[in-house]
Amino acid sequence: MDCYWYISDSLRPWEAAVVGTLARALIREGVKLHSFCGGGTESLSIPGLLSWHSLNATERALIVGTKGKLWHLWGTPPSWWKFIRLRSRTIHTLFENPAKDWKGHPTVLSATACSSGESYIPPAFEVKMNWSADEGKESFEETGTPVFLLSGGSAEEFEVFAEGAAKASSTLRNFDESPDEGMKLLSSGNCILLLPRPSSSLALLSAFVALMGIPSVAVRSALMDEMLGKEGYVHLQSENPAEAAHALRSALGEGGRSASAFARRNITDTFSPEKGARKLKTLYLSLGGDQ
């Protein structure tokens, strides 16, 4: 089987990690994978991966015009994608699933978010994630008060949760305003993820941080239940400061530790790289990848 991948630079670090893990497992399954990316190649760790920008104009034109009978696009489509679709079977995976942007056969990484006409690909996770050069910081640290990282919330919600964090003798930071700084905090292990509005992508992020021993606090949702298990995160019952403070205190103590441990078991039992790779291989064969 011969397959070409293009990985957009729109992918966030945890999304790229899912793609990289699936790619390595797919190669182990015997798929001959030719992969290109629109951004940096280091975080993906895919054997043979080439930066699209490292190719000259002639090489790019040759690839777009002649290479590959089956292509898989991950993320936002590049401007030249329409030329690939003229001559090849194409698959497209978006992480937040806006249907109007599909370019090819649609796939999603959440069974909960999968609708009619789409194919579900189980995401893949590796048990140990090295997100920084420092070793020994993958586990949730019990020393010191962790920082709460809020993602996916409004400015008004930030104020409410900041008050709740203060009541829990902690502090709150907005992950979305400074994602690079947020990633450093996640690498340190001394933080807790706070998700008032979980999305498909943020559910993937919660799975990654759970494997690092970091608990999540989130509104109860089918997306989070699917990814972490119903007991794999601390449930946020409401968004008033008193209820928020109660949930955050729970996450700082035994509630956070037990939820994180439950989530790790659910992730490793449910989302192995081999499972995702087998589903991808079956999908490619069904769409003509065996030709």
Cβ atoms of 227 and 108 closer than 8 Å? no
| pTM more than 0.75 | yes
Closest CA to 145 of 212, 190, 186: 190
37-75 pLDDT tens trace: 998 777 799 999 999 999 999 999 999 999 999 999 999
Alpha-carbon torsion (264, 265, 270, 275), positive or negative = positive
Domains of the chain: 2-124+272-286 (3.40.50.2000), 147-270 (3.40.50.2300)
Coil/strand/helix, residue 134? coil
What single string gives the DSSP state of each residue in 206-257? HHHHHHTT--EEEE--HHHHHHH-TTSSEEE---SHHHHHHHHHHHHTHHHH
243-269 pLDDT tens trace: 888 899 999 999 999 999 999 999 999
Strands, sheet with 171-174, edge to edge from the N-terminal-most edge strand: 171-174, 147-150, 191-195, 216-219, 234-236
